[in-house]
A and B are shown apart, each in its own frame.
Chain A
Amino acid sequence: MRYLPHTPTDISHMLATVGLESVDELLVQVPANLRAQQALGLPDGCPEAEVLERAGELSTSNSILPSFQGAGCYRRDVSSVVSAVLSRAEFATAYTPYQPEVSQGTLQACFEFQTYVALLCGLDVANASLYDGASALAEAVLLSLRVGRGRRRVLMSAGVHPAYRAVTETYLRGSGDTEVELIGLDKNGRTDADLLERALGDDVAAICTGYPNFYGVIDDLGTASRLARRCGALSLSVTSEPLALGLLRSPGELGADVAVAEGQGLGLPISYGGPGVGLFAARQQYLRQVPGRLVGETRDSNGRRGYVLTLATREQHIRRERATSNICTNQGLAALAVTTFLGLAGRKGLRKLAALNTARAHQLAERLASEAGLAPVFSAPFFNEFAIEVPDSKHWFENCVQHGVVPGVRVADLEGSCADGGENRVLVTVTEVNSDADFDLLVSTARQSMAA
């Protein structure tokens, strides 16, 4: 096996050193009644060329069509510099920086990542990342329950990504009597402020607002934060398209206490939905309740600047069952992709890319309205995705796909969503990747499919 270096001579030497004649003698530690009764029933191993051949068959049996799918996972033009950095084995094959003296690369990159996340979110501190946006929301809700001792209700906007809501429910299930109350959207696509106000109470731990929300709408996070403050709850901002934060007022500026986001849209491929990376930022006062890894700046014994993992007493390997989270590491390499991407985009480029996305999305929305009679369902301002409603969305959708374009995401196909009678809604997403030719294809197909 090409990954194994040990020759028969090496093996004999090692066995002789150990004082045994065969590896089997080492394995007698495993009692006979627990030993495997037969060889592993996996296919035979194979040379690299065969691995590539089979993988090639599988990957090409997928069909990649022009697509307007987003809904938490965004196609983006990413510089080759990002993949070049990620392919550095010094980053890819290192582990959690337990020995900071030989891990300064990873640690400094994490420190830069934390800085970017805090700046983007307009908050004081950020961690070195969590698994994804969905589990980041779950962790933020758990933080709000720790901070708001005894408070047991969480007000969740229906505009929060349905998968994030579902994951949060999973995390909460079986741990106390927390109730998640869904707050519907108004006819403009924003969280219904009246419903939210009526649901307030001194037992509310958090108000969670999608920003932009699942339908692309730039929700009124400021009002949600104000209402949260009124009842002593935390305001949690939830973003699945992180590029929006490069253009819109920051969650911190709008009063959020904790902001979470999926970072995939800042440098990671869509890759069938993973890996992603969870961004997590908070106000300074919640620092000791933040889950996950934190990197801090310090000095070495010669007074030179350096970085270490810090405030580890919040974490499972020290605090065990009293830790702020069970998370062990972060999404190091995915966070590095985000860090590299943001460095390339920089102060002007990120804003410009975000502006391009929103401008293009509005162009398509106008064309779908004027040329195919498909106006956005919601009238509130949106970032780079918007919902349309078509009669018999299943049939319409399939028809589009047959014509070689994936028009978006059928909301009814998503788990846990569509509580508000939107079974014929399709969420259309536009990024800089979508060309004018894609627009033409979608508009003409949409029109024909309406007629069909």
Chain B
Amino acid sequence: MSAGVDRGPEKTVFEKGSPGRCGLDLPEPGPLPLDAKLLRADLEGFPEMSEPEVLRHYLRLSQLNYSAAADFYPLGSCTMKYNPVVNDKVAGLEGFVASHPYAPIELVQGNLRLLRELEEWLVEISGLASVSLQPAAGAQGELAGIKIMRAWHEDQGKPRSKVLIPASAHGTNPASAALCGYDCVVVPVGDDGLVSADAVREFLDDEVAGLMITNPNTLGLFEPAMGEITAAVHEVGGLVYMDGANMNALMGVARPGDMGADILHVNLHKTFSTPHGGGGPGAGPLAVTEQLEKYLPSPRMVEKDGKLDWEYDRPDSIGPVRSFYGNFGILVRAWAYMKACGGDGLTEVTRMAVLAANYLRVRLEQDYDLPCDGPCMHEVVFTDKKLEGGVKTLDLAKRLLDYGFHAPTIYFPLVVQGAIMIEPTESEPLETLDEFADAMIAIAREAREDPGKVKSAPLNTPVARLDETRAARHPRLVWKAEESA
């Protein structure tokens, strides 16, 4: 970090600056046309800083972060791949950033053409009929998708009451289903980490609105019974929602639509290389079958006489889930990635992602417990069972930070104890994969020989282990002079 210099904690902006400084030069506004009783007295608490102070503050904060650009970031289920720099350049083109969402349609045909191409490419990759680019994130795509499921059932006569969700699912799945008024029924996962058609059949009846399934699942395994499962759900009149968080394993290999998925969201910030931004903005486009197209969020893009336009009059639509048309700047980045890679490139991406995960699987399986044997897709899940000296997954994660690697996703999926979920992605060179494997193996050895060291990790990070209990017990969510440490 920052050439190895420890500057101590960076003060907040609220402790910096000095009265009279300002990072904006503005003309005098003249007399205010508003009655004083409408106005606030002051912006008490706001800092007063010059431009260079602000820049320095945030550059210093940036240096306290691990990032996928600078470090290996094998966070399972998050697909922390390379985010091409050119994507940002494209998204920053003046014609895009300066276009207004309510601009007359003839002034923004370039935007719509780009969005149309992106829709078409996602249709091809998903094997489904239509795509809405509106959802702002995967979880919002799920929400829209389950709303569509509900709307469809209502049109069949009744909304039904239950959604089946395998135990290995992301937490957003049950949360989204609940938000749409459904009871969540957990389908157990077999010892092999897979959902069997029989396990699903056990819960199927005419109250089941559908199934939400992630494939490959969160153990990194392809669900081989997917075809049988989707057929069984369809047989009782249910729909299949597929969580496309793991599409990086499928491009050019298999298409959700061909497997019987009716509704799918994809995360552009995972598979399609848009930056994760420390938590967003992402994008969660939604793909559906032809029979569900009419329910997609409004407005929908339509083409008339070679001119693209937004159609708001969509009586069957679930309505909009977001203002305007989605996270356009993110959609542009994904377009640039797909344009650069092409169909063959994306297929190669998937193949290399799968190879890299399997390479790590084999390199680590002597030292780490693999709860599900055999090949994996784009990610591999281990547990801490083989670690000695009482070292747990959390300790391993913290120790990895000392070795200069971001930790894998830990304690997820919940179906295995002490999960260590590693997703290397396709963009890491072999040397990095080896260095990471070497570090993992070295930590397993440390656990045997000097477990105390592992348990006291991290030792080389800007701060040591943080007291999360204290944070939750006495929440300090905003800065206050008198309270701060």
B26, A349: Cβ atoms closer than 8 Å = yes
- Does residue A274 face the partner (Cβ distance < 8 Å to B)? yes
A73, B327: Cβ atoms closer than 8 Å = no
Contact A29 B278, CB 8 Å, known A62-B107, A95-B73: no
Contact with A along B27-60 (1 / 0, CB 8 A): 1011111110011101111111101001101110
Q: How far is the CA of A18 from the CA of B137 in the complex (A)?
A: 35
B327, A274: Cβ atoms closer than 8 Å = yes
- Does residue A262 face the partner (Cβ distance < 8 Å to B)? yes
Contact with B along A99-135 (1 / 0, CB 8 A): 1111111101111101110111010111011011111
Which of A31, A106, A326 has the most chain B CB atoms inside 10 A of its CB?
Answer: A326
Contact A29 B375, CB 8 Å, known A102-B66, A347-B44: yes
Contact A102 B253, CB 8 Å, known A64-B95, A316-B174, A347-B47: no
Contact of B276 among A93, A104, A108, A126 (CB under 8 A): A93
- Does residue A1 face the partner (Cβ distance < 8 Å to B)? yes
Contact of B98 among A84, A161, A249, A269 (CB under 8 A): A269
B323, A349: Cβ atoms closer than 8 Å = no
Contact A29 B377, CB 8 Å, known A99-B66, A296-B475: yes
B355, A44: Cβ atoms closer than 8 Å = no
Closest chain-B Cβ to A334's Cβ sits at a distance in Å of 5
B278, A131: Cβ atoms closer than 8 Å = no
Q: How far is the CA of A273 from the CA of B343 in the complex (A)?
A: 29
B379 neighbours in A (Cβ, 8 Å): none
B298 neighbours in A (Cβ, 8 Å): 415
A114, B478: Cβ atoms closer than 8 Å = yes
A304, B9: Cβ atoms closer than 8 Å = yes
B170 neighbours in A (Cβ, 8 Å): 317, 328
A358, B32: Cβ atoms closer than 8 Å = yes
- Does residue B397 face the partner (Cβ distance < 8 Å to A)? yes
- Does residue B302 face the partner (Cβ distance < 8 Å to A)? no
Q: Taking CB as reference atom, which chain A residue is nearest B325?
A: A273
Closest chain-B Cβ to A12's Cβ sits at a distance in Å of 11
Closest chain-A Cβ to B197's Cβ sits at a distance in Å of 12
- Does residue B263 face the partner (Cβ distance < 8 Å to A)? no
Q: Taking CB as reference atom, which chain B residue is nearest A10?
A: B430
Contact with A along B126-144 (1 / 0, CB 8 A): 0000000000111110110
A42, B124: Cβ atoms closer than 8 Å = yes
B171, A316: Cβ atoms closer than 8 Å = yes
A322, B86: Cβ atoms closer than 8 Å = no
A170, B321: Cβ atoms closer than 8 Å = yes
Contact of A321 among B108, B175, B273, B428 (CB under 8 A): B175
B466, A67: Cβ atoms closer than 8 Å = no
B470 neighbours in A (Cβ, 8 Å): 298-299
B464, A327: Cβ atoms closer than 8 Å = no
- Does residue B484 face the partner (Cβ distance < 8 Å to A)? yes
B323, A163: Cβ atoms closer than 8 Å = yes
B345, A81: Cβ atoms closer than 8 Å = no
- Does residue A149 face the partner (Cβ distance < 8 Å to B)? no
A90, B86: Cβ atoms closer than 8 Å = no
Contact A91 B277, CB 8 Å, known A39-B252, A135-B136, A300-B464: yes
- Does residue A387 face the partner (Cβ distance < 8 Å to B)? no
Q: How far is the CA of A321 from the CA of B471 in the complex (A)?
A: 24
Contact with A along B460-485 (1 / 0, CB 8 A): 01111111101110011111000011
**Tally of chain A residues near chain B (CB < 8 A):** 204
Which of A103, A119, A397, A414 has the most chain B CB atoms inside 10 A of its CB?
Answer: A103
B326 neighbours in A (Cβ, 8 Å): 273-274
A230 neighbours in B (Cβ, 8 Å): none
Q: Taking CB as reference atom, which chain B residue is nearest A355?
A: B29
- Does residue A26 face the partner (Cβ distance < 8 Å to B)? yes
Q: Taking CB as reference atom, which chain A residue is nearest B485?
A: A305
- Does residue B444 face the partner (Cβ distance < 8 Å to A)? no
B61 neighbours in A (Cβ, 8 Å): 104-105, 108-109
Binds B, one of A151-159, A200-208, A336-344, A437-445: A336-344
B468 neighbours in A (Cβ, 8 Å): 298, 308, 310
B69, A84: Cβ atoms closer than 8 Å = no
Q: Taking CB as reference atom, which chain A residue is nearest B351?
A: A23
B46, A346: Cβ atoms closer than 8 Å = yes
- Does residue A97 face the partner (Cβ distance < 8 Å to B)? yes
Contact with B along A64-83 (1 / 0, CB 8 A): 11010101110100010101
Which of B102, B329, B427, B475 has the most chain A CB atoms inside 10 A of its CB?
Answer: B102
Q: How far is the CA of A387 from the CA of B393 in the complex (A)?
A: 60
A101 neighbours in B (Cβ, 8 Å): 398, 401, 458, 461-466
Closest chain-B Cβ to A78's Cβ sits at a distance in Å of 10
B279, A96: Cβ atoms closer than 8 Å = yes
- Does residue A92 face the partner (Cβ distance < 8 Å to B)? yes
Contact of B124 among A41, A71, A116, A313 (CB under 8 A): A41
Tell me which residues from 5 to 59 in chain A have a Cβ below 8 Å from any Cβ of chain B: 5-6, 10-11, 13-15, 17-19, 23, 26-27, 29-31, 33-37, 39-48, 50-52, 54-59
Contact with A along B418-431 (1 / 0, CB 8 A): 00000000111110
A114, B477: Cβ atoms closer than 8 Å = yes
- Does residue B88 face the partner (Cβ distance < 8 Å to A)? yes
A318 neighbours in B (Cβ, 8 Å): 171
Contact of B323 among A19, A54, A161, A359 (CB under 8 A): A161
Closest chain-A Cβ to B177's Cβ sits at a distance in Å of 7
Closest chain-A Cβ to B30's Cβ sits at a distance in Å of 5
B347 neighbours in A (Cβ, 8 Å): 39-40
B464, A304: Cβ atoms closer than 8 Å = yes
B136 neighbours in A (Cβ, 8 Å): 131-132, 135, 274-275, 331
Which of A75, A79, A170, A397 has the most chain B CB atoms inside 10 A of its CB?
Answer: A170
Contact A52 B175, CB 8 Å, known A270-B98, A346-B23: no
Which of B13, B83, B466 has the most chain A CB atoms inside 10 A of its CB?
Answer: B466
- Does residue B356 face the partner (Cβ distance < 8 Å to A)? yes
B124, A126: Cβ atoms closer than 8 Å = no
B29, A352: Cβ atoms closer than 8 Å = yes
Q: How far is the CA of A164 from the CA of B318 in the complex (A)?
A: 14
Q: How far is the CA of A165 from the CA of B17 in the complex (A)?
A: 40
Contact with A along B57-101 (1 / 0, CB 8 A): 111011111111110010100101011101011111111111111
- Does residue B370 face the partner (Cβ distance < 8 Å to A)? no
- Does residue A63 face the partner (Cβ distance < 8 Å to B)? yes
Q: How far is the CA of A339 from the CA of B67 in the complex (A)?
A: 20
- Does residue A432 face the partner (Cβ distance < 8 Å to B)? yes
B97 neighbours in A (Cβ, 8 Å): 269-271
B318 neighbours in A (Cβ, 8 Å): 170, 173
Tell me which residues from 299 to 353 in chain B have a Cβ below 8 Å from any Cβ of chain A: 299, 312, 318-330, 332, 335-336, 338-349, 351-352
Q: Taking CB as reference atom, which chain B residue is nearest A413?
A: B102
A102, B49: Cβ atoms closer than 8 Å = no
- Does residue A348 face the partner (Cβ distance < 8 Å to B)? yes
Contact A104 B64, CB 8 Å, known A31-B227, A343-B54: yes
Tell me which residues from 298 to 326 in chain A have a Cβ below 8 Å from any Cβ of chain B: 298-308, 310-313, 315-323, 325-326
| 4 shortest interchain CB distances as A-B pairs | A273-B324, A45-B342, A59-B95, A273-B101
10 residue pairs of the A-B complex, CB under 8 angstroms, read: A1-B349, A3-B426, A36-B255, A58-B113, A93-B276, A101-B458, A102-B66, A131-B281, A218-B34, A247-B39
In the complex, besides A34-B254, A85-B62, A101-B458, 6 extra interface pairs with C-beta distance below 8 angstroms are A44-B344, A56-B93, A104-B10, A105-B65, A142-B179, A349-B23
